[in-house]
Chain A
Amino acid sequence: MLTFSLRRLLSIPPLVLVVSFLTFLLLKQAPGDFYSQMEADPTRSTTEVLRQKENAGLLVRLDRNQLVAIGEFSDDGHRWSFADEGGERPVIRKDGTPVRAKEASRSLLKFQIDGIQYQCDDEAVVYRKVGAIEGFFSWLFNALTLDFGTSYKFNRPVFGIIAERLLNTLTLSLAALVIAYGLGVPLGIFAAVKPNSRLDHSAGIIAFLGLSIPTVFFALLAMLFASYTGWFPIGDMRSLDYDQYGFFGKIANRIHHLFLPALVLGTSAMAGYMRQARGNMIEALGQDYVRTARAKGVSEQGVLFKHAFRNAVNPLVTLFGYSLASLLSGSLLVEIVMNWPGLGRLIFEAISAKDEPLVLASVLISTLLLVFGNLAADILLAVVDPRVRLS
């Protein structure tokens, strides 16, 4: 088992590398970047937007020597060049005659030489655009020193921001997981023990409802329910007076807020587990060893839980491994609709705003969770099923 785990762990670095590279490429391929919103704001000048891009590492400012080294190039029918004549800034020549910075910047907003893109601000300061590959390697290099970058949006190291939200999301998804397994598996088993009974049918109806109602809709219904009855808070993770409560008051307040979101998330996941448990159980109950056990005179409880259930549980354990990976991102929609201050919301906003460092860090965490979730599932499987040998 040790060598198995070690081998799994060794496969992590190449996997992470590939995943982060693909994420990076996809982010770069989509049009626009984090600063597109700023560029659409009439009150911001090009100069300041480009300077922010430079600070974020998306652009590199060319110094005097690099400018001169560009040599002569043509853009929009004119010949341009930068010449060092000892002044404070290089002289810009348009078709051989020197022009003022302001005039040059109006023409040279964006130009391309040999496939490299350049941008120019209002004061004719020239920047070179950092390419996708170059950007990836500089990110990777920093990541090797455990510096995963600073969020463009928050101006802070990414893991600090993620840590703030991590616990909130874990609380919600673990509660949902407990509901999903705690209700789904027993219901599935009972349904399997008495197939086509009234219990089986009502469980089936619940399962189909859970599978077919979208989580968003369910969450909206729950919020309407809360606002009409007043029994539950309208969104949020805790009330505004939370800090004034005592210890038990705080716990009660949290549970009160947690109930609806966890129920919404849990019931939609529960349906799948219930159908899975029912199917496996029915299959196991039809096996020869169950008939043998019954013939031996084993009690019905013993047959169910010692023989059938232990054989039926394997796929559920595997599913559990996968559900670990979705712990962080699975609750996104519920978080938005029910105002839960979680990680899903943060990542979703980071993706839509193209806050690259934050997206990369969260993809890394999800990848690691998936790998460890699978590892945990395999190990659990070996524990519950003596037939499985990890080597």
Chain B
Amino acid sequence: MISISRNPLRWSALSFLAITLLIAGCTAERPAAPVTPPGEDASNQQSATQDTPAKPRVVRISKMDRPEEPKPDPSQPVGVPSPAFIGEVSPDAVVVDRTGTYGGRFVYAILGEVETFNPVEPKGATDQEIRALVFSPLVTYNNGKWQTEPALAKNWEVSDDQLTWTFFIRDGIRWADGEEMNVEDALFSFQAVFHPQIATSIKDGFKHPETGELPEVMADKERNALVFKLKRIDSQFLTHVGNVSIIPEHKWRDHLQEKDPTLLQQMTSNADPADLVGCGPFVLKQYVPAEKIVYQRNPHYWKVDSRQQRLPYLDEVVIVLVKDSNLMWQKFEAGELDIFEDVPADHFREAVAMEKEAKASLIRLGVSLNSNWVCFNLHPGKNPDTGEPFVDEAKAYWFNNLEFRKAVNHAIDRDGIKRTAFQGRATAIWSSITPGNKSWYHAGVPKYPFDLDKAKKILDDMGWTDRDGDGVREDDLGRKISFSLNTNVENNLRQQVGNLISKDLVNLGLEINFKPIVFNDLVTSLRDSHKWDMILLGWGSGVPPDPANGKNITLSSGRLHAWYPQQPEPATEWEARIDNLMAMMDEELDDKVRKKYYDEVQELIGQNIPILYLIAANSYAASQEGRIGNLWPSLLRPQMTWNLESLWKAQP
């Protein structure tokens, strides 16, 4: 007793520990995830009745090289949808080859915030991703199959001159508010996007590249079809049509005034959920800023499964809005989230650990479509205020030398970057199209494998050697070869890559000043001030992953033609040839021919190396083990939620 009173601190610490252990012991036991071995199929079949949903079987999808298309399982219990469906199934309903069980709440998280729910000008990446839950387009892109397929249009026709496109609208489709959807709504949606006073980048794709003219659009009520008359042949027309979400005319007619339309001020982030009327699989139920978006089943949705049961299976979808990717991962680890898209490199080990404990499936999706690159400033212009060249004379002399760029390319140890920065989970690339892009990858582009001796020899042969013994080479005019490398400070991985490249170039005998700066500054210097030497950045890939999406990068007039943007006229012959090839791709509908054109573009860039493509990371996604059925993960974004209408959740 005496010792206790003398040392109250120790005693209280001990008792605290004891209580801690006690409570931890009570809560540590977590219910295991529902996994049913395949052998139990028979018992499932017996209990597969509507009112007693048995534990359905969810196929384990990890350990697969490339996720396969899920197969329908007729033994699956049907379950009871709540809220229930309303009205008749459309005679034109799409049949999806799946089965599933009704019910449940699907929870996932996104980094970001809703800027607007308006599908006419979805501003941020989040807005673009979430609009597909509520709104449907005429045609849509299937991330699993990598192809465009019909949505609200049941099919389409192209005239022989490839200038008239006719989209036939499905009959009997209803808006989420019960009104009938028809060709008038489709016409209205395109009129909204084409309105001269509505600023939306969805309009860009439809514009004629020279004159800026938009296609004519009209409704053919007799055939319930929407007809477009194009001013030129456009191979990407289907993609552009797929970007337009169909919105109800009966709801927004009065906001598409001829002068100063107020449509973009509607459906903002504080809109009444009842105002967001679409044809998508879900309707907005509640939005709490910075917390969550809650959706529930659209009772009028127009897809059915292989048993003629209506979709979607899920009663509710909750998107948790998170700001910090670490927290997001912790939520997934704790089981709060059903899936995790784009598992970042720093959580890879934890994901593998979860896989080993059979808590989660880690899905290996292959090489990402996003590329990392470095690029030299080849801008020949002068600053209009000072009259000084953007790139000073010595640097321009080095950077414009093709042999110098070749030497740099040979000196960069892509394998080293892969091992050190990416822990081996990446692939070296030689073009903007990574091996992950099955449709457009070209294996025949020129490659410049790591060979420091060869790189040194190239510089030695030009007489660019170190003459004063300070370890840095001088060019043939005696100027020390020293320049800076920038990247954006927000990206840790890129900073690591930048350090490795600097080291490689120092080994080659160059002096590099590596400086990560704020992204906004970087973009400004790339676009406006043109005051930079060498830059390390990356390109993301759009959906569909067609090179026509990257015209702003590839064309010599492009704003993001990194080495010399917005050229008044093509600066070199090969850039003029690329401009031509891109124009030819626009007017060619046959993807095989287009691929040939783009192979040449990739070869031209590989031969002239204005930009040095480095590496592409491997892509991973994760889902809780045995929880979500019909998952068909894709390399294209969104990786797992693109087929949300046919996902279903195993009931505990």
Chain A residues near B (Cβ < 8 Å): 30-32, 36-37, 39-40, 42-49, 51-52, 54-55, 75-76, 100-102, 106-107, 109-112, 122-123, 153-156, 160-161, 164-165, 168, 202, 220, 223, 227, 229-231, 234-238, 240, 243, 335-339, 341-342, 345-346, 349, 354
A42 near B116 (CB under 8 angstroms)?
A: no
B116 near A154 (CB under 8 angstroms)?
A: yes
B557 near A106 (CB under 8 angstroms)?
A: yes
Query: In this complex, what residue of B is CB-closest to A198?
Result: B9
| A223 in contact with B330 given A109-B566, A231-B23, A337-B324 (CB within 8 Å) | yes
Query: In this complex, what residue of A is CB-closest to B537?
Result: A40
B39 at the interface (CB under 8 A from A): no
B384 near A75 (CB under 8 angstroms)?
A: yes
Q: Give chain B's interface residue range (CB within 8 Å of chain A).
A: 35 or more
Query: In this complex, what residue of B is CB-closest to A110?
Result: B528
What are 11 inter-chain pairs, A to B, with CB distance below 8 A?
Answer: A32-B520, A32-B521, A42-B550, A45-B207, A48-B199, A52-B199, A76-B381, A106-B566, A231-B23, A238-B291, A354-B520
| A230 in contact with B334 given A39-B523, A43-B201, A339-B322 (CB within 8 Å) | yes
B559 near A46 (CB under 8 angstroms)?
A: yes
A234 near B523 (CB under 8 angstroms)?
A: no
B200 at the interface (CB under 8 A from A): yes
Docked Cα-Cα span, A349 to B9, in Å, equals 44
Q: Which of B27, B116, B331 is the most central at the interface, judged by chain A CB atoms within 10 Å of its CB?
A: B331
Q: Which of these, A102, A111, A164, A229, contacts B384 with CB under 8 Å?
A: A111
Query: In this complex, what residue of B is CB-closest to A241?
Result: B105
| A345 in contact with B115 given A48-B199, A156-B269, A336-B323 (CB within 8 Å) | no
Residues 501-528 of B, flagged 1 when their CB comes within 8 A of A and 0 if not, give 0000000000000000001110111011
A223 near B327 (CB under 8 angstroms)?
A: yes
Which residues from chain A contact B551 at a C-beta distance below 8 Å? 42
B277 at the interface (CB under 8 A from A): no
Q: Which of A32, A110, A168 is the most central at the interface, judged by chain B CB atoms within 10 Å of its CB?
A: A32
Query: In this complex, what residue of B is CB-closest to A78?
Result: B568
Residues 210-230 of B, flagged 1 when their CB comes within 8 A of A and 0 if not, give 111000000000000000000
A32 near B291 (CB under 8 angstroms)?
A: no
Query: In this complex, what residue of B is CB-closest to A243?
Result: B286
B269 near A345 (CB under 8 angstroms)?
A: no
Q: Which of these, B288, B560, B566, contacts A40 with CB under 8 Å?
A: B560
B346 to chain A, nearest CB (A): 14
Docked Cα-Cα span, A346 to B269, in Å, equals 14
Q: Which of B200, B201, B210, B527 is the most central at the interface, judged by chain A CB atoms within 10 Å of its CB?
A: B201
Q: A36-B520, A122-B212, A168-B290 are in contact. List 19 more A-B contacts (CB 8 A).
A: A31-B521, A32-B524, A36-B524, A40-B523, A45-B201, A47-B204, A47-B212, A51-B199, A102-B212, A106-B557, A106-B566, A154-B269, A156-B270, A223-B326, A227-B334, A236-B320, A240-B320, A336-B324, A339-B324
Which residues from chain A contact B385 at a C-beta distance below 8 Å? 112
Residues 536-574 of B, flagged 1 when their CB comes within 8 A of A and 0 if not, give 000100100000011111000111100000111100000
Residues 90-121 of B, flagged 1 when their CB comes within 8 A of A and 0 if not, give 00000000000000000100000101101000
B265 at the interface (CB under 8 A from A): yes
10-27 of chain B: CB within 8 A of chain A? 20, 23-24, 27
Query: In this complex, what residue of B is CB-closest to A336?
Result: B323
Residues 259-294 of B, flagged 1 when their CB comes within 8 A of A and 0 if not, give 000001100111000000000000000101111100
38-79 of chain B: CB within 8 A of chain A? none
Query: In this complex, what residue of A is CB-closest to B27?
Result: A230
Q: Which of these, A37, A100, A155, A227, contacts B330 with CB under 8 Å?
A: A227
| A45 in contact with B523 given A106-B568, A156-B270, A345-B323 (CB within 8 Å) | no
B123 at the interface (CB under 8 A from A): yes
Q: Which of these, A37, A43, A220, A335, contacts B542 with CB under 8 Å?
A: A43
Which residues from chain A contact B207 at a C-beta distance below 8 Å? 45
Docked Cα-Cα span, A346 to B327, in Å, equals 18
Docked Cα-Cα span, A349 to B23, in Å, equals 39
Query: In this complex, what residue of A is CB-closest to B549?
Result: A43
Which residues from chain A contact B9 at a C-beta distance below 8 Å? 202
Q: Which of B320, B336, B553 is the most central at the interface, judged by chain A CB atoms within 10 Å of its CB?
A: B336
B39 to chain A, nearest CB (A): 33
A155 near B520 (CB under 8 angstroms)?
A: no
Query: In this complex, what residue of B is CB-closest to A354?
Result: B520
A218 to chain B, nearest CB (A): 15
| A237 in contact with B27 given A155-B115, A160-B270, A339-B324 (CB within 8 Å) | no
Which residues from chain B contact A236 at a C-beta distance below 8 Å? 291, 320
Which residues from chain A contact B326 at a C-beta distance below 8 Å? 220, 223
B212 near A123 (CB under 8 angstroms)?
A: yes
* Total contacts A-B at CB 8 Å: 159
Which residues from chain A contact B200 at a C-beta distance below 8 Å? 48
B318 at the interface (CB under 8 A from A): yes
Docked Cα-Cα span, A42 to B330, in Å, equals 33
Which residues from chain A contact B23 at a C-beta distance below 8 Å? 229, 231
Which residues from chain A contact B323 at a C-beta distance below 8 Å? 335-336, 339, 345
Which residues from chain A contact B24 at a C-beta distance below 8 Å? 229
Query: In this complex, what residue of A is CB-closest to B30?
Result: A230
Query: In this complex, what residue of B is CB-closest to A230?
Result: B27
324-359 of chain B: CB within 8 A of chain A? 324, 326-327, 330-331, 333-334, 336
Query: In this complex, what residue of B is CB-closest to A341?
Result: B290
B203 at the interface (CB under 8 A from A): yes
| A237 in contact with B291 given A32-B523, A339-B327, A349-B113 (CB within 8 Å) | yes
Docked Cα-Cα span, A235 to B334, in Å, equals 12
A187 to chain B, nearest CB (A): 15
A165 near B290 (CB under 8 angstroms)?
A: yes
Which residues from chain B contact A54 at a C-beta distance below 8 Å? 199
| A231 in contact with B27 given A31-B521, A165-B289 (CB within 8 Å) | yes
Docked Cα-Cα span, A327 to B200, in Å, equals 39
Which residues from chain B contact A164 at a C-beta distance below 8 Å? 270, 289
Query: In this complex, what residue of A is CB-closest to B567?
Result: A106
Query: In this complex, what residue of A is CB-closest to B118?
Result: A155
Docked Cα-Cα span, A61 to B396, in Å, equals 36
B107 to chain A, nearest CB (A): 7
103-146 of chain B: CB within 8 A of chain A? 107, 113, 115-116, 118, 123-124
Docked Cα-Cα span, A46 to B291, in Å, equals 34
A234 near B521 (CB under 8 angstroms)?
A: no
Docked Cα-Cα span, A75 to B382, in Å, equals 11
A243 to chain B, nearest CB (A): 8
Which residues from chain B contact A161 at a C-beta distance below 8 Å? 289
157-201 of chain B: CB within 8 A of chain A? 199-201
| A106 in contact with B569 given A32-B520, A36-B523, A336-B324 (CB within 8 Å) | yes
Docked Cα-Cα span, A341 to B290, in Å, equals 5
Residues 305-324 of B, flagged 1 when their CB comes within 8 A of A and 0 if not, give 00000000000001011111
A31 near B520 (CB under 8 angstroms)?
A: yes
| A42 in contact with B539 given A235-B322, A338-B327 (CB within 8 Å) | yes
A102 to chain B, nearest CB (A): 5
Query: In this complex, what residue of B is CB-closest to A33?
Result: B520
A235 near B327 (CB under 8 angstroms)?
A: yes
A44 near B201 (CB under 8 angstroms)?
A: yes
A346 near B290 (CB under 8 angstroms)?
A: yes
Which residues from chain B contact A31 at a C-beta distance below 8 Å? 520-521, 524-525, 529
Docked Cα-Cα span, A345 to B322, in Å, equals 11
Which residues from chain B contact A160 at a C-beta distance below 8 Å? 270
Which residues from chain B contact A36 at a C-beta distance below 8 Å? 520, 523-524, 527
Which residues from chain A contact B268 at a C-beta distance below 8 Å? 154-156
Which residues from chain A contact B568 at a C-beta distance below 8 Å? 76, 106-107
